[in-house]
Structure 1
């Protein structure tokens, strides 16, 4: 029933920019073109789906943040819902991101065109 990836993420194959809801999305009901959806949609799985150790409170539509591995880099990302650009600062989300930064991962939070790097020290700042 979570459809946050259908709004927060860009889907070039559908000419859908990050932000607006995909025209094929039924809120709370999934994808209208599920059996014919683009390969990028078939391949995408957020961390909440793949990591069974994450608490229910980190479900993207509940906390306003999609936790994900970036396929094009070695970054771990928190992509915020357009209407909640600072959702990555939620205590549960930030604690998760900080733990990953402390483990040596490059951790980035994104909100639209803005992005912040989270450091192992707990500090954070804009990316360049």
Structure 2
């Protein structure tokens, strides 16, 4: 579990390092996959999406999804939710951030400590 936690935290740093206006959503996803590959982990689903106030057809807006080979260009001033969840047979974890995409980087919109909080039952 701790090893996966390390991968998720490193993966978030990689995603945030790759996320800026003008890159494709697939390039951002590839940064995540590179970390997972180093740890011998897999996750086939998307890792994030655009959010906003448009509410059509729903709150997810269906305009930008961070998944493998996604060609959509990430626009400047987009607001996205990156959710790095890893779900195993008997446990799971996730680390998520809401990010503002800028011309050369992205900015966190929340000041909550960026690490996985381990809760034992």
Which structure has more RCO (C-alpha within 8 Å, separation ≥ 6)?
A: 2
Work out whether the TM-score is over 0.5.
no
TM-score w.r.t. length of structure 2: 0.30
